[in-house]
Amino acid sequence: MPQLLTFEEIKQQYHNEWLLIAYTTLDNHLNVVQGEVLLHSPNADDIYDALPQYNDRPVAIEYIGEAPKDIAFIL
């Protein structure tokens, strides 16, 4: 059975990790409010490599922690 967590609970459990989250609820700005963590890893490539397995589910990729110095984010 999937474990649904709020984004606040997710942030408390996963530090400095990349997450693949099957979200169930988004806010008005499309931020994850609640969902199930499908995969977590300190390495972003692990998340992106596994992404095709979940193409039938609404998912979000999040990084929980301070932004790594060698990565640029496009918003």
Which pLDDT score, from 0 to 100, does residue 51 have? Answer: 95
Residues 11-66: pLDDT tens digits? 999 999 999 999 999 999 999 999 999 999 999 999 999 999 999 999 999 999 98
Q: How many CB atoms lie within 10 A of CB 10?
A: 20
Predicted confidence at residue 34, as pLDDT, reads: 98
The predicted pLDDT at position 75 comes to: 64
**Residue ranges covered by each domain of the chain:** 5-64
Q: According to the model, what pLDDT value does residue 68 have? A: 67
Burial of 63 (0-12, 13-18, 19+ CB in 10 A): middle
Sign of the CA dihedral running 22, 27, 31, 32: negative
Tokens of 1: 């059975």
